[in-house]
Protein backbone atom coordinates (compact mmCIF):
# COMPACT_ATOMS: atom_id res chain seq x y z
CA UNK A 1 0.00 0.00 0.00
CA UNK A 2 1.26 3.46 -0.87
CA UNK A 3 1.81 5.48 2.31
CA UNK A 4 0.60 9.05 2.53
CA UNK A 5 1.37 11.73 5.08
CA UNK A 6 -2.19 11.56 6.38
CA UNK A 7 -1.77 7.95 7.50
CA UNK A 8 0.38 9.26 10.36
CA UNK A 9 -1.38 12.58 10.79
CA UNK A 10 -3.62 13.97 13.50
CA UNK A 11 -6.02 16.68 12.37
CA UNK A 12 -7.29 19.53 14.52
CA UNK A 13 -10.66 21.06 13.66
CA UNK A 14 -11.10 24.80 14.11
CA UNK A 15 -14.53 26.41 14.19
CA UNK A 16 -13.42 29.93 13.23
CA UNK A 17 -16.15 31.91 14.95
CA UNK A 18 -15.17 30.39 18.28
CA UNK A 19 -11.41 29.93 18.29
CA UNK A 20 -9.83 33.35 18.91
CA UNK A 21 -11.02 36.89 18.32
CA UNK A 22 -8.24 39.31 17.33
CA UNK A 23 -10.16 42.57 16.92
CA UNK A 24 -12.55 42.65 19.86
CA UNK A 25 -15.85 42.23 18.00
CA UNK A 26 -16.67 39.07 19.96
CA UNK A 27 -16.24 36.78 16.93
CA UNK A 28 -13.24 34.58 16.21
CA UNK A 29 -11.28 35.36 13.06
CA UNK A 30 -8.32 34.37 10.86
CA UNK A 31 -5.80 36.64 12.57
CA UNK A 32 -6.89 35.09 15.84
CA UNK A 33 -6.14 31.61 14.49
CA UNK A 34 -2.74 32.72 13.22
CA UNK A 35 -1.93 34.09 16.68
CA UNK A 36 -2.49 30.64 18.17
CA UNK A 37 -0.41 28.58 15.76
CA UNK A 38 2.42 28.23 18.27
CA UNK A 39 -0.03 26.57 20.63
CA UNK A 40 -1.10 24.11 17.92
CA UNK A 41 2.51 23.43 17.04
CA UNK A 42 3.17 22.59 20.67
CA UNK A 43 0.24 20.17 20.61
CA UNK A 44 1.92 18.64 17.58
CA UNK A 45 -0.94 18.37 15.09
CA UNK A 46 -0.23 17.77 11.41
CA UNK A 47 -3.05 19.78 9.90
CA UNK A 48 -5.94 22.08 10.67
CA UNK A 49 -9.38 21.40 9.25
CA UNK A 50 -10.80 24.87 8.99
CA UNK A 51 -14.59 25.02 9.11
CA UNK A 52 -15.86 27.48 6.45
CA UNK A 53 -14.36 30.97 6.39
CA UNK A 54 -15.80 31.93 2.99
CA UNK A 55 -18.11 34.84 2.31
CA UNK A 56 -21.49 33.95 3.75
CA UNK A 57 -24.62 35.51 5.21
CA UNK A 58 -24.02 33.08 8.14
CA UNK A 59 -27.48 31.59 8.19
CA UNK A 60 -25.75 28.29 9.06
CA UNK A 61 -22.49 29.85 10.30
CA UNK A 62 -20.66 29.69 7.01
CA UNK A 63 -22.06 26.41 5.70
CA UNK A 64 -24.07 28.69 3.44
CA UNK A 65 -21.48 30.11 1.06
CA UNK A 66 -22.13 33.14 -1.14
CA UNK A 67 -18.63 33.32 -2.65
CA UNK A 68 -16.18 30.39 -2.54
CA UNK A 69 -13.24 32.60 -3.45
CA UNK A 70 -13.71 35.35 -0.88
CA UNK A 71 -13.37 35.45 2.90
CA UNK A 72 -16.26 36.54 5.14
CA UNK A 73 -15.72 40.06 6.49
CA UNK A 74 -16.09 38.89 10.07
CA UNK A 75 -13.09 36.58 9.57
CA UNK A 76 -10.80 39.04 7.73
CA UNK A 77 -9.80 39.03 4.09
CA UNK A 78 -7.83 36.95 1.59
CA UNK A 79 -4.53 38.42 2.73
CA UNK A 80 -5.29 37.14 6.25
CA UNK A 81 -5.98 33.72 4.74
CA UNK A 82 -2.69 33.79 2.84
CA UNK A 83 -0.91 34.83 6.00
CA UNK A 84 -2.49 31.98 7.96
CA UNK A 85 -1.41 29.50 5.27
CA UNK A 86 2.14 30.84 5.20
CA UNK A 87 2.50 30.95 8.99
CA UNK A 88 1.00 27.49 9.40
CA UNK A 89 3.23 25.98 6.73
CA UNK A 90 6.28 27.56 8.37
CA UNK A 91 5.41 25.58 11.48
CA UNK A 92 4.86 22.38 9.54
CA UNK A 93 1.08 22.62 9.86
CA UNK A 94 -1.09 21.93 6.83
CA UNK A 95 -4.48 23.50 6.11
CA UNK A 96 -7.55 21.50 5.04
CA UNK A 97 -10.44 23.62 3.76
CA UNK A 98 -14.11 22.82 4.24
CA UNK A 99 -15.74 22.21 0.86
CA UNK A 100 -19.48 22.85 0.92
CA UNK A 101 -20.75 21.99 -2.55
CA UNK A 102 -23.98 20.14 -1.90
CA UNK A 103 -25.57 23.57 -1.68
CA UNK A 104 -24.70 27.26 -1.76
CA UNK A 105 -26.19 30.26 -0.03
CA UNK A 106 -29.27 31.76 -1.66
CA UNK A 107 -27.09 34.88 -1.84
CA UNK A 108 -24.51 33.20 -4.09
CA UNK A 109 -24.29 34.92 -7.51
CA UNK A 110 -25.39 31.66 -9.18
CA UNK A 111 -28.60 31.48 -7.21
CA UNK A 112 -29.31 35.19 -7.56
CA UNK A 113 -28.95 34.78 -11.33
CA UNK A 114 -31.02 31.59 -11.33
CA UNK A 115 -33.82 33.32 -9.47
CA UNK A 116 -33.78 36.59 -11.41
CA UNK A 117 -33.39 34.96 -14.83
CA UNK A 118 -35.19 31.65 -15.09
CA UNK A 119 -33.89 31.26 -18.64
CA UNK A 120 -30.23 31.68 -17.63
CA UNK A 121 -27.72 28.80 -17.55
CA UNK A 122 -27.49 29.19 -13.79
CA UNK A 123 -31.16 28.18 -13.39
CA UNK A 124 -30.20 24.55 -13.91
CA UNK A 125 -27.42 24.75 -11.32
CA UNK A 126 -30.23 24.34 -8.77
CA UNK A 127 -33.21 22.04 -8.50
CA UNK A 128 -36.63 23.48 -9.41
CA UNK A 129 -40.01 21.81 -9.54
CA UNK A 130 -43.55 23.01 -10.22
CA UNK A 131 -44.84 20.95 -7.32
CA UNK A 132 -43.09 19.95 -4.09
CA UNK A 133 -43.10 16.37 -2.84
CA UNK A 134 -43.02 15.46 0.85
CA UNK A 135 -39.24 15.50 1.30
CA UNK A 136 -38.26 17.06 4.61
CA UNK A 137 -35.44 19.45 5.34
CA UNK A 138 -32.88 18.16 7.83
CA UNK A 139 -33.36 21.42 9.70
CA UNK A 140 -37.13 20.91 9.93
CA UNK A 141 -40.13 21.61 7.68
CA UNK A 142 -40.41 20.94 3.96
CA UNK A 143 -37.28 20.64 1.80
CA UNK A 144 -39.00 22.80 -0.85
CA UNK A 145 -39.33 26.56 -0.86
CA UNK A 146 -41.71 28.43 -3.15
CA UNK A 147 -40.11 31.16 -5.25
CA UNK A 148 -42.60 33.94 -6.09
CA UNK A 149 -40.66 35.23 -9.04
CA UNK A 150 -40.76 32.08 -11.13
CA UNK A 151 -43.67 30.31 -9.51
CA UNK A 152 -41.52 27.22 -8.89
CA UNK A 153 -40.14 25.51 -5.81
CA UNK A 154 -36.43 24.98 -5.17
CA UNK A 155 -34.92 22.15 -3.15
CA UNK A 156 -33.08 22.83 0.11
CA UNK A 157 -32.15 19.85 2.27
CA UNK A 158 -30.88 22.30 4.90
CA UNK A 159 -32.18 25.83 5.55
CA UNK A 160 -34.14 27.66 2.86
CA UNK A 161 -31.11 29.91 2.55
CA UNK A 162 -29.11 26.84 1.44
CA UNK A 163 -30.47 25.85 -1.99
CA UNK A 164 -29.18 22.45 -3.19
CA UNK A 165 -26.90 22.38 -6.21
CA UNK A 166 -27.83 20.23 -9.19
CA UNK A 167 -24.89 17.92 -9.77
CA UNK A 168 -26.52 16.56 -12.92
CA UNK A 169 -25.39 19.77 -14.60
CA UNK A 170 -21.91 19.23 -16.10
CA UNK A 171 -21.12 22.96 -16.35
CA UNK A 172 -21.86 23.39 -12.64
CA UNK A 173 -19.59 20.48 -11.80
CA UNK A 174 -16.79 22.05 -13.82
CA UNK A 175 -17.22 25.33 -11.94
CA UNK A 176 -16.85 23.47 -8.66
CA UNK A 177 -13.67 21.75 -9.89
CA UNK A 178 -12.21 25.06 -11.09
CA UNK A 179 -12.86 26.55 -7.68
CA UNK A 180 -11.21 23.57 -5.95
CA UNK A 181 -8.15 23.90 -8.21
CA UNK A 182 -7.92 27.58 -7.37
CA UNK A 183 -7.62 26.67 -3.68
CA UNK A 184 -5.22 23.80 -4.38
CA UNK A 185 -3.01 26.22 -6.34
CA UNK A 186 -2.98 28.48 -3.30
CA UNK A 187 -1.22 25.70 -1.41
CA UNK A 188 -3.89 24.13 0.76
CA UNK A 189 -3.47 20.45 1.59
CA UNK A 190 -6.93 19.03 1.20
CA UNK A 191 -10.66 19.25 1.68
CA UNK A 192 -13.20 18.11 4.21
CA UNK A 193 -16.29 17.60 2.05
CA UNK A 194 -19.54 18.65 3.65
CA UNK A 195 -22.45 16.17 3.28
CA UNK A 196 -20.75 14.87 0.16
CA UNK A 197 -22.90 11.74 0.08
CA UNK A 198 -25.86 13.92 -0.88
CA UNK A 199 -24.57 15.27 -4.19
CA UNK A 200 -26.04 12.30 -6.09
CA UNK A 201 -29.56 13.03 -4.81
CA UNK A 202 -32.64 12.20 -6.88
CA UNK A 203 -35.36 14.26 -5.22
CA UNK A 204 -38.18 12.86 -7.36
CA UNK A 205 -37.39 9.38 -6.06
CA UNK A 206 -36.77 10.77 -2.59
CA UNK A 207 -33.16 9.68 -2.70
CA UNK A 208 -30.99 12.01 -0.65
CA UNK A 209 -27.84 10.07 0.29
CA UNK A 210 -25.86 7.55 -1.74
CA UNK A 211 -27.55 8.34 -5.04
CA UNK A 212 -26.61 6.16 -8.03
CA UNK A 213 -24.26 8.70 -9.63
CA UNK A 214 -22.46 9.75 -6.43
CA UNK A 215 -19.33 7.74 -7.08
CA UNK A 216 -19.18 8.75 -10.75
CA UNK A 217 -19.14 12.36 -9.66
CA UNK A 218 -16.41 11.73 -7.09
CA UNK A 219 -14.27 9.90 -9.64
CA UNK A 220 -14.72 12.75 -12.07
CA UNK A 221 -13.86 15.25 -9.32
CA UNK A 222 -10.78 13.26 -8.41
CA UNK A 223 -9.49 13.31 -11.99
CA UNK A 224 -10.27 17.00 -12.41
CA UNK A 225 -8.72 18.18 -9.15
CA UNK A 226 -6.96 15.71 -6.83
CA UNK A 227 -5.17 13.26 -9.12
CA UNK A 228 -1.39 13.28 -8.81
CA UNK A 229 -1.42 15.47 -5.69
CA UNK A 230 -0.88 14.28 -2.16
CA UNK A 231 -3.94 15.85 -0.56
CA UNK A 232 -6.12 14.70 2.32
CA UNK A 233 -9.79 14.41 1.44
CA UNK A 234 -12.40 13.39 3.95
CA UNK A 235 -16.06 13.11 3.09
CA UNK A 236 -18.84 13.67 5.60
CA UNK A 237 -21.05 10.63 4.99
CA UNK A 238 -23.77 10.05 7.55
CA UNK A 239 -25.10 7.01 5.72
CA UNK A 240 -21.84 5.09 5.19
CA UNK A 241 -21.44 1.41 5.99
CA UNK A 242 -17.98 -0.20 5.78
CA UNK A 243 -18.92 -1.48 2.32
CA UNK A 244 -19.80 2.02 1.17
CA UNK A 245 -16.76 3.53 2.90
CA UNK A 246 -14.52 1.26 0.84
CA UNK A 247 -15.98 2.69 -2.33
CA UNK A 248 -14.89 6.15 -1.27
CA UNK A 249 -11.59 5.36 0.34
CA UNK A 250 -10.06 2.37 -1.41
CA UNK A 251 -6.98 3.70 -3.24
CA UNK A 252 -8.00 1.67 -6.29
CA UNK A 253 -11.26 3.62 -6.58
CA UNK A 254 -9.47 6.99 -6.82
CA UNK A 255 -12.05 9.02 -4.95
CA UNK A 256 -11.24 10.22 -1.39
CA UNK A 257 -8.66 9.49 1.31
CA UNK A 258 -11.30 8.63 3.92
CA UNK A 259 -14.79 9.42 5.16
CA UNK A 260 -16.39 10.34 8.44
CA UNK A 261 -18.81 7.57 9.33
CA UNK A 262 -21.27 8.21 12.15
CA UNK A 263 -22.35 4.79 13.28
CA UNK A 264 -20.81 5.18 16.76
CA UNK A 265 -22.32 8.66 17.07
CA UNK A 266 -25.70 7.03 16.41
CA UNK A 267 -25.48 5.59 19.95
CA UNK A 268 -26.07 9.10 21.29
CA UNK A 269 -29.77 8.83 20.55
CA UNK A 270 -32.46 6.19 20.90
CA UNK A 271 -32.66 3.71 17.99
CA UNK A 272 -34.69 4.98 15.02
CA UNK A 273 -35.39 8.25 16.79
CA UNK A 274 -34.49 11.84 16.09
CA UNK A 275 -31.17 12.95 17.55
CA UNK A 276 -33.00 14.98 20.17
CA UNK A 277 -34.22 11.78 21.88
CA UNK A 278 -30.83 11.30 23.38
CA UNK A 279 -29.41 8.32 25.19
CA UNK A 280 -27.39 9.48 28.15
CA UNK A 281 -24.64 7.11 29.07
CA UNK A 282 -22.56 5.02 26.74
CA UNK A 283 -23.65 1.60 25.53
CA UNK A 284 -20.14 0.17 25.68
CA UNK A 285 -20.87 -3.27 24.18
CA UNK A 286 -22.56 -1.63 21.19
CA UNK A 287 -19.66 0.78 20.79
CA UNK A 288 -17.19 -2.10 20.84
CA UNK A 289 -19.14 -3.93 18.13
CA UNK A 290 -19.18 -0.86 15.94
CA UNK A 291 -15.47 -0.13 16.30
CA UNK A 292 -14.63 -3.78 15.76
CA UNK A 293 -16.66 -3.83 12.58
CA UNK A 294 -15.08 -0.70 11.13
CA UNK A 295 -11.56 -1.59 12.21
CA UNK A 296 -11.66 -5.07 10.72
CA UNK A 297 -13.80 -4.50 7.63
CA UNK A 298 -11.87 -1.51 6.31
CA UNK A 299 -8.76 -3.58 5.70
CA UNK A 300 -5.41 -1.96 5.11
CA UNK A 301 -5.10 -1.02 1.47
CA UNK A 302 -8.84 -1.35 0.88
CA UNK A 303 -10.01 1.67 2.78
CA UNK A 304 -9.09 3.99 5.60
CA UNK A 305 -10.93 5.09 8.75
CA UNK A 306 -11.28 8.47 10.35
CA UNK A 307 -11.45 8.51 14.15
CA UNK A 308 -13.38 11.14 16.08
CA UNK A 309 -15.52 11.79 19.15
CA UNK A 310 -16.37 15.43 18.52
CA UNK A 311 -17.04 17.99 15.86
CA UNK A 312 -18.95 21.26 15.51
CA UNK A 313 -22.28 19.41 15.10
CA UNK A 314 -21.96 17.13 18.12
CA UNK A 315 -22.16 17.49 21.88
CA UNK A 316 -18.91 17.60 23.82
CA UNK A 317 -18.05 13.92 24.33
CA UNK A 318 -17.31 14.33 28.04
CA UNK A 319 -20.84 15.58 28.64
CA UNK A 320 -22.57 12.67 26.95
CA UNK A 321 -20.18 9.74 27.35
CA UNK A 322 -17.45 10.82 29.74
CA UNK A 323 -17.51 12.33 33.18
CA UNK A 324 -17.71 16.08 33.74
CA UNK A 325 -17.21 15.78 37.51
CA UNK A 326 -14.62 13.88 39.56
CA UNK A 327 -13.23 11.96 36.61
CA UNK A 328 -13.29 14.72 34.00
CA UNK A 329 -9.56 14.60 33.31
CA UNK A 330 -9.25 10.87 33.62
CA UNK A 331 -12.24 10.10 31.42
CA UNK A 332 -11.02 12.59 28.79
CA UNK A 333 -7.67 10.82 28.66
CA UNK A 334 -9.34 7.41 28.57
CA UNK A 335 -11.54 8.39 25.62
CA UNK A 336 -8.53 9.83 23.82
CA UNK A 337 -6.43 6.70 24.35
CA UNK A 338 -9.31 4.47 23.23
CA UNK A 339 -9.69 6.38 19.97
CA UNK A 340 -6.20 7.39 18.93
CA UNK A 341 -4.61 3.93 19.05
CA UNK A 342 -7.01 2.42 16.53
CA UNK A 343 -6.27 2.40 12.81
CA UNK A 344 -7.30 5.58 11.01
CA UNK A 345 -6.67 9.30 11.06
CA UNK A 346 -7.71 10.90 14.37
CA UNK A 347 -9.47 14.26 14.50
CA UNK A 348 -9.45 16.53 17.53
CA UNK A 349 -12.09 19.23 17.84
CA UNK A 350 -10.96 22.52 19.39
CA UNK A 351 -11.12 22.40 23.17
CA UNK A 352 -11.28 18.60 23.28
CA UNK A 353 -7.58 18.59 24.19
CA UNK A 354 -8.34 20.51 27.40
CA UNK A 355 -11.54 18.62 28.22
CA UNK A 356 -14.15 21.26 27.42
CA UNK A 357 -17.76 20.36 28.23
CA UNK A 358 -21.30 21.25 27.15
CA UNK A 359 -22.69 24.65 28.07
CA UNK A 360 -25.47 25.01 30.69
CA UNK A 361 -27.89 26.82 28.31
CA UNK A 362 -30.75 28.30 30.32
CA UNK A 363 -33.11 29.49 27.61
CA UNK A 364 -33.55 29.88 23.86
CA UNK A 365 -32.17 33.41 24.05
CA UNK A 366 -28.68 32.02 24.61
CA UNK A 367 -28.74 29.94 21.41
CA UNK A 368 -27.59 30.66 17.88
CA UNK A 369 -27.81 27.33 16.02
CA UNK A 370 -30.50 27.27 13.35
CA UNK A 371 -31.10 23.54 13.81
CA UNK A 372 -31.70 23.87 17.57
CA UNK A 373 -33.90 26.94 17.14
CA UNK A 374 -35.99 25.26 14.43
CA UNK A 375 -36.34 22.17 16.61
CA UNK A 376 -37.47 24.33 19.52
CA UNK A 377 -40.01 26.26 17.45
CA UNK A 378 -41.46 23.09 15.95
CA UNK A 379 -41.60 21.32 19.32
CA UNK A 380 -43.29 24.28 21.01
CA UNK A 381 -45.90 24.29 18.26
CA UNK A 382 -46.49 20.61 18.93
CA UNK A 383 -47.10 21.37 22.58
CA UNK A 384 -43.85 20.05 24.03
CA UNK A 385 -42.75 21.62 27.31
CA UNK A 386 -39.92 24.11 27.09
CA UNK A 387 -38.11 22.36 29.96
CA UNK A 388 -37.99 19.15 27.93
CA UNK A 389 -36.85 21.01 24.83
CA UNK A 390 -34.05 22.78 26.69
CA UNK A 391 -33.00 19.49 28.23
CA UNK A 392 -32.47 17.99 24.76
CA UNK A 393 -30.66 21.05 23.50
CA UNK A 394 -28.40 21.15 26.54
CA UNK A 395 -27.32 17.58 25.85
CA UNK A 396 -27.36 17.39 22.05
CA UNK A 397 -27.59 20.91 20.56
CA UNK A 398 -24.82 22.02 18.23
CA UNK A 399 -24.06 25.21 20.15
CA UNK A 400 -22.44 23.11 22.89
CA UNK A 401 -19.42 22.60 20.68
CA UNK A 402 -19.46 26.17 19.45
CA UNK A 403 -19.04 28.25 22.61
CA UNK A 404 -15.72 30.14 22.67
CA UNK A 405 -12.44 28.31 23.14
CA UNK A 406 -11.27 28.66 26.72
CA UNK A 407 -7.76 30.12 26.71
CA UNK A 408 -7.49 31.38 30.28
CA UNK A 409 -9.41 32.19 33.45
CA UNK A 410 -9.98 35.88 32.67
CA UNK A 411 -13.36 37.31 31.81
CA UNK A 412 -14.26 36.10 28.27
CA UNK A 413 -11.77 33.23 28.72
CA UNK A 414 -9.05 35.08 26.82
CA UNK A 415 -11.11 34.46 23.67
CA UNK A 416 -12.04 38.09 23.09
CA UNK A 417 -11.50 41.50 24.64
CA UNK A 418 -15.26 42.07 24.29
CA UNK A 419 -17.72 40.82 26.89
CA UNK A 420 -20.26 40.51 24.04
CA UNK A 421 -19.06 37.23 22.58
CA UNK A 422 -21.26 35.77 19.81
CA UNK A 423 -22.04 32.77 22.03
CA UNK A 424 -21.59 32.89 25.79
CA UNK A 425 -18.36 31.70 27.37
CA UNK A 426 -18.76 28.59 29.51
CA UNK A 427 -18.58 29.62 33.19
CA UNK A 428 -16.28 26.67 33.84
CA UNK A 429 -13.48 28.44 31.93
CA UNK A 430 -12.12 29.55 35.29
CA UNK A 431 -11.01 25.93 35.83
CA UNK A 432 -10.97 24.49 32.31
CA UNK A 433 -8.63 26.49 30.11
CA UNK A 434 -5.45 26.27 28.06
CA UNK A 435 -3.32 28.18 30.52
CA UNK A 436 -4.13 25.77 33.36
CA UNK A 437 -3.65 22.77 31.05
CA UNK A 438 -0.24 23.86 29.83
CA UNK A 439 0.98 24.48 33.39
CA UNK A 440 0.09 20.97 34.58
CA UNK A 441 2.35 18.21 33.20
CA UNK A 442 -0.42 15.67 33.96
CA UNK A 443 -3.13 17.50 32.05
CA UNK A 444 -5.31 16.14 29.24
CA UNK A 445 -3.34 18.34 26.83
CA UNK A 446 -0.17 16.31 27.34
CA UNK A 447 -1.98 13.02 26.81
CA UNK A 448 -3.11 14.33 23.42
CA UNK A 449 0.37 15.63 22.70
CA UNK A 450 1.79 12.19 23.43
CA UNK A 451 -0.81 10.37 21.32
CA UNK A 452 -0.07 12.64 18.36
CA UNK A 453 3.65 12.01 18.73
CA UNK A 454 3.15 8.25 19.01
CA UNK A 455 1.21 8.22 15.77
CA UNK A 456 3.86 10.24 13.95
CA UNK A 457 6.67 7.99 15.12
CA UNK A 458 5.23 4.48 15.01
CA UNK A 459 4.40 2.50 11.91
CA UNK A 460 2.42 -0.05 13.88
CA UNK A 461 -0.34 2.47 14.44
CA UNK A 462 -0.92 2.34 10.69
CA UNK A 463 -0.03 -1.22 9.83
CA UNK A 464 -0.93 -3.43 12.79
CA UNK A 465 -4.09 -5.51 12.67
CA UNK A 466 -6.88 -4.77 15.11
CA UNK A 467 -8.07 -7.59 17.37
CA UNK A 468 -10.90 -6.98 19.80
CA UNK A 469 -10.33 -8.74 23.15
CA UNK A 470 -13.01 -10.51 25.18
CA UNK A 471 -13.65 -8.53 28.35
CA UNK A 472 -16.46 -7.57 30.68
CA UNK A 473 -19.09 -5.23 29.26
CA UNK A 474 -17.70 -1.86 30.24
CA UNK A 475 -14.11 -2.59 29.32
CA UNK A 476 -12.93 -1.93 25.79
CA UNK A 477 -9.75 -3.82 25.01
CA UNK A 478 -7.99 -4.43 21.73
CA UNK A 479 -4.66 -5.59 20.45
CA UNK A 480 -2.74 -4.12 17.57
CA UNK A 481 -0.70 -6.93 16.13
CA UNK A 482 2.17 -6.92 13.63
CA UNK A 483 4.49 -9.76 12.58
CA UNK A 484 6.95 -8.85 15.32
CA UNK A 485 5.07 -7.07 18.08
CA UNK A 486 1.74 -6.77 19.87
CA UNK A 487 0.26 -3.83 21.69
CA UNK A 488 -2.60 -4.19 24.11
CA UNK A 489 -4.94 -1.26 24.68
CA UNK A 490 -7.31 -1.44 27.66
CA UNK A 491 -9.87 1.17 28.66
CA UNK A 492 -12.44 1.06 31.41
CA UNK A 493 -15.16 3.14 29.77
CA UNK A 494 -17.06 3.62 33.01
CA UNK A 495 -16.95 5.39 36.33
CA UNK A 496 -17.01 2.11 38.29
CA UNK A 497 -14.26 -0.36 39.04
CA UNK A 498 -14.32 -3.35 36.66
CA UNK A 499 -12.93 -6.86 36.94
CA UNK A 500 -10.10 -7.53 34.56
CA UNK A 501 -8.57 -10.88 33.75
CA UNK A 502 -6.60 -10.61 30.52
CA UNK A 503 -3.18 -12.22 30.74
CA UNK A 504 -0.56 -9.61 30.17
CA UNK A 505 2.91 -10.63 29.16
CA UNK A 506 4.09 -7.13 29.97
CA UNK A 507 7.05 -5.63 28.14
CA UNK A 508 6.72 -1.89 28.15
CA UNK A 509 4.19 0.86 28.85
CA UNK A 510 3.37 2.96 25.80
CA UNK A 511 0.85 5.32 27.40
CA UNK A 512 -1.42 5.33 30.44
CA UNK A 513 -3.69 7.62 32.41
CA UNK A 514 -3.10 5.68 35.61
CA UNK A 515 -0.15 4.52 37.66
CA UNK A 516 1.23 1.63 35.64
CA UNK A 517 2.18 -0.56 38.61
CA UNK A 518 -1.25 -0.28 40.10
CA UNK A 519 -2.75 -1.72 36.94
CA UNK A 520 -0.93 -4.99 37.12
CA UNK A 521 -1.04 -5.55 40.84
CA UNK A 522 -4.78 -5.71 41.09
CA UNK A 523 -7.25 -7.68 39.10
CA UNK A 524 -9.47 -4.67 38.96
CA UNK A 525 -9.57 -1.66 36.75
CA UNK A 526 -10.33 1.57 38.56
CA UNK A 527 -12.84 4.04 37.06
CA UNK A 528 -11.69 5.22 33.62
CA UNK A 529 -8.34 3.43 33.82
CA UNK A 530 -6.71 3.33 30.39
CA UNK A 531 -3.38 2.07 29.17
CA UNK A 532 -1.48 0.70 26.23
CA UNK A 533 1.33 -1.74 26.83
CA UNK A 534 3.63 -3.63 24.52
CA UNK A 535 3.09 -7.32 25.21
CA UNK A 536 4.95 -10.51 24.34
C1 LIG B 1 -22.84 19.45 7.60
C2 LIG B 1 -22.13 20.40 8.53
C3 LIG B 1 -23.16 21.16 9.30
C4 LIG B 1 -24.02 21.93 8.33
C5 LIG B 1 -24.61 21.02 7.27
C6 LIG B 1 -25.13 21.82 6.12
O7 LIG B 1 -23.52 18.47 8.29
O8 LIG B 1 -21.21 19.73 9.32
O9 LIG B 1 -22.59 22.02 10.25
O10 LIG B 1 -25.06 22.56 9.01
O11 LIG B 1 -23.66 20.14 6.73
O12 LIG B 1 -24.07 22.40 5.40
CA1 LIG C 1 -13.14 39.19 15.42
What is the per-residue pLDDT for 108?
98
Q: What would the pLDDT profile of 348-396 be if each residue is shown by its tens digit?
A: 999 999 999 999 999 999 999 999 999 999 999 999 999 999 999 999 9
Q: What would the pLDDT profile of 472-487 be if each residue is shown by its tens digit?
A: 999 999 999 999 999 9
Question: Please, which residues have CB within 8 angstroms of residue 159's CB and are 6 or more apart in sequence?
Answer: 59, 60, 64, 137, 139, 370
From the alpha carbon of 100, which atom of ligand 1 is closest?
A: 12
From the alpha carbon of 158, which atom of ligand 1 is closest?
A: 6
Ligand showing the shortest atom-to-Cα distance for residue 73:
2
What is the rounded radius of gyration, in angstroms, for the C-alpha atoms of the chain?
23
Q: Which helix (H) or strand (E) holds 186?
A: helix 170-186
What is the per-residue pLDDT for 502?
80
Kindly tell me if the per-residue pLDDT of 416 is higher than 90: yes
Mean of the per-residue pLDDT values of the chain: 97
CA 30 – ligand 2 centroid, Å: 8
CA 28 – ligand 2 centroid, Å: 5
Task: Verify whether residue 178 is a known catalytic residue.
Answer: no
Q: What would the pLDDT profile of 9-55 be if each residue is shown by its tens digit?
A: 999 999 999 999 999 999 999 999 999 999 999 999 999 999 999 99
Dihedral class, residue 254 (left if φ above 0, else alpha if ψ from -120 to 50, else beta): left
| Reported pTM | 0.98
Q: What would the pLDDT profile of 77-118 be if each residue is shown by its tens digit?
A: 999 999 999 999 999 999 999 999 999 999 999 999 999 999
Q: Which of 96, 234, 313 to mutate to test the pocket of ligand 1 (most atoms within 8 A of CB)?
A: 313
Average pLDDT over residues 389-418: 98
Average pLDDT over residues 230-259: 97
In 3-state terms, what secondary structure has residue 379?
Answer: helix
In 3-state terms, what secondary structure has residue 236?
Answer: strand
Task: Verify whether residue 236 is a known catalytic residue.
Answer: yes
What is the per-residue pLDDT for 503?
80
Q: What would the pLDDT profile of 165-202 be if each residue is shown by its tens digit?
A: 999 999 999 999 999 999 999 999 999 999 999 999 99
From the alpha carbon of 370, which atom of ligand 1 is closest?
A: 10
98 Cβ closer than 6 Å to some ligand 1 atom: no
From the alpha carbon of 313, which atom of ligand 1 is closest?
A: 9
Q: Which residues surround ligand 2, an ion (CB under 5 A)?
A: 21, 23, 25, 27, 29
Question: Please, which residues have CB within 8 angstroms of residue 205's CB and are 6 or more apart in sequence?
Answer: none
Closest by CA to 115, choosing from 62, 144, 154, is 154
What is the per-residue pLDDT for 518?
58
Q: What percent of the chain has pLDDT over 90?
A: 96
Q: Which residues lie across from 49 on neighbouring strands?
A: 13, 96
Label residue 151 by pLDDT band (50, 70, 90).
very high
CA 8 – ligand 2 centroid, Å: 33
**Given 164, 189, 236, 255, which residue is catalytic?**
236
Question: Please, which residues have CB within 8 angstroms of residue 342's CB and are 6 or more apart in sequence?
Answer: 291, 295, 305, 307, 466, 478
* Residue with CA at minimum distance from ligand 1 atom 2: 194
Q: What would the pLDDT profile of 452-476 be if each residue is shown by its tens digit?
A: 999 999 999 999 999 999 999 999 9
Label residue 57 by pLDDT band (50, 70, 90).
very high
Ligand showing the shortest atom-to-Cα distance for residue 197:
1
Ligand showing the shortest atom-to-Cα distance for residue 265:
1
What is the Cα–Cα distance from 319 to 44, expressed in whole angstroms? 25
**Given 29, 64, 194, 369, which residue is catalytic?**
194
Per the CB < 8 A criterion, the answer to whether 129 and 152 are in contact is yes
Q: What would the pLDDT profile of 263-289 be if each residue is shown by its tens digit?
A: 999 999 999 999 999 998 999 999 999
Amino acid sequence: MKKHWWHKATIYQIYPKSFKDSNGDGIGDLKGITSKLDYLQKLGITAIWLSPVYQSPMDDNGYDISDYQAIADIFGDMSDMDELLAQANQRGIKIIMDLVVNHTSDEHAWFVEAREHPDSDARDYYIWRDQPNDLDSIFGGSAWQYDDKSGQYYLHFFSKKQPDLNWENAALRQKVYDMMNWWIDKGIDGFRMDVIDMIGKIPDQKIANNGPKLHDYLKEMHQATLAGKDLLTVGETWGATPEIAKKYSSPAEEELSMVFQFEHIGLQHKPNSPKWDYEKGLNVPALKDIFNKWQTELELGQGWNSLFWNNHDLPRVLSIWGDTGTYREKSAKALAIALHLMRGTPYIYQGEEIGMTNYPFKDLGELNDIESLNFAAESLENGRAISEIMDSIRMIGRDNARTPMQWDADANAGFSSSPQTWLPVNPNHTQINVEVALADPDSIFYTYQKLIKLRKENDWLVDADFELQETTDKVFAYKRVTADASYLVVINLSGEAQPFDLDIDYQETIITNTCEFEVFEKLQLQPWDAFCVKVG
